[in-house]
Each structure stands twice: as C-alpha cells, then as structure tokens.
Amino acid sequence: MNDRILVAPTDLLGDGVFETVHLRPAGPWLLDEHLARLSRSAAIVGLPEPDLTPVRERVFDTTGVLRIVYTRTLLDISIAPFPESALRERHAGIRVLSADRGISVRRRPPWSITGAKSLSYAENFAARRWAIRQGADDLIWLSTEGYVLEAPTSSVVWLTGDELCTVPPAEADILPGITAGHLLSLAPSVGLRPAERMITLPELAAADTIWLTSSLRGMAEVTELDGIPRPRSPWTPRLLSLLGL
C-alpha cells in the first residue's frame, strides 16, 4: 500500500495510460475488461501493446483498489485502500451539476485522446474540484453542441421506462465505461432493454433515474441535478445487486 515507485522524469508528463480495478474478495472485478481497455488506450496514445503477464499472473490476496499504470518506460501495479467516499456515494447518492466542457463532439481533432484513459488527468481533477466548490459532489460534462458526454471519472447511465441507456463511446469520443457496459449487458436479465443514445441535457433530466457508474462507486444515483432534487429509484438496489454490490 502507498508504495513509492522509481520512474524517469518523462514518465511524469502524463503520456501514458492507466486502469483502476476494484479488488473484491473474489478477486479483481472485470479484470479482463480492464486489461483490454488498457491495451486499447495504449494504442490511442501511440504506446506499444503492453505485456500484461505480470498483472495476469499476480495473486491478489487483499481487497481495495488495484491501479495499473503503463508508460513508455514502465508497467506499474500498485494497491491502495478502498476509498470510503465511493461506498458513501453508492448508498447515499450524489448531487451533480452539468457543465459545458468547451469541447465539440462534431469537430474532434484527429489526434484526440479523450477515448483513452490517459495519465493526463489534471482536467478531470480540476473539474471535480470545481463541482465540489459549487457545493455538488460531481459533474456531468456536456459537449459544446449540448450533448451529454461523461463525468470526469464515471460514465452516465439512465433509465427511461424499461430502457437502460448510456452514451455511445465511439460517437461521443469518450472512455467506454466498463461498469456501464457490464450493467447494460445484464439489463435483459432484469427485464430492461439496453441502449446507447446521444442525448441532450433536457432529455437526460427527463429520465426516470440517472446514475454515474465507475469501477469503485459501482453506481451512484443522482439525487439532485443542477440543484433540482430527484426522487430515489427502486432500481438502484436492484442494479447494485446485479453488480454484486
């Protein structure tokens, strides 16, 4: 825990990729999916295919958080305690703001790396700190065209009738959410229809329920969006249970 690692100064320039995996009592949750996404992110930032044997062969005898970092010079595995805040948000829900990220989805540059989980995470942290200064817990990013994108460290999932939706990652040029994808794949088992849709903020606000999903939170229900309270959903405990939480 809280290991220190030896790096080259250039490793500190955010030019690499990472994954955060929930270490559950049964082992690392959805590890294959995380490793596949790490490889995909690496390709987006022009890194060679990583050799993930050290991760696959490692035996994890603790719960908590597994972080895998891959740069041009290193593949590092570290383990940290599970953050209390994620547990709290999972059960109490979160108050969320929406905010224009100032980025267009229609005019993405050819070198765009927003679809990779890159180590250049400063904007994600800065946006989250801004939301907290406004008295919220988190924020949802919108494109300059008004489309719902993602949250700085989570995917947006919503329920309208019996349709469980998320944002299409390729079309929105966002990170494919592993928890969101897993949840949608399980939706039919509880009578819900999975779908991916580009939506605007008013459309999202009109959904029955909104969640932010991520590996550590699992899913956190949005109990307030832009200052407007939202009724709690009976689906939250059902879907958390689907995720084994």
Residues that bind a second copy (CB under 8 A): 2-9, 11-16, 18, 45-46, 67, 69, 71, 76, 78, 80, 99-104, 107-113, 116, 118-123, 125-127, 129-130, 144
Q: How far is the CB of 7 from a second copy (least distance, A)?
A: 6
Q: Closer CB to a second copy, residue 58 or residue 238?
A: 58
The answer to whether the CB of 225 falls within 8 A of the CB of 96 is: yes
Q: Closer CB to a second copy, residue 152 or residue 181?
A: 152
Q: How far is the CB of 80 from a second copy (least distance, A)?
A: 7
Q: Which residues pair with 166 in a beta bridge?
A: 157, 196
Residue among 146, 149, 82 nearest 114 (CA): 149
Residue among 97, 93, 92, 86 nearest 134 (CA): 97
Q: Closer CB to a second copy, residue 49 or residue 111?
A: 111
Q: How far is the CB of 238 from a second copy (least distance, A)?
A: 34
Q: How far is the CB of 216 from a second copy (least distance, A)?
A: 14
Which contacts qualify for 36-39: CB closer than 8 Å, 24 or more apart?
37/117, 37/175, 37/176, 37/178, 38/68, 38/70, 38/117
Q: How far is the CB of 48 from a second copy (least distance, A)?
A: 14
Enter the DSSP assignment of 76: E
Q: Closer CB to a second copy, residue 107 or residue 228?
A: 107
In this structure, how many other beta carbons lie within 10 angstroms of the beta carbon of residue 88?
14
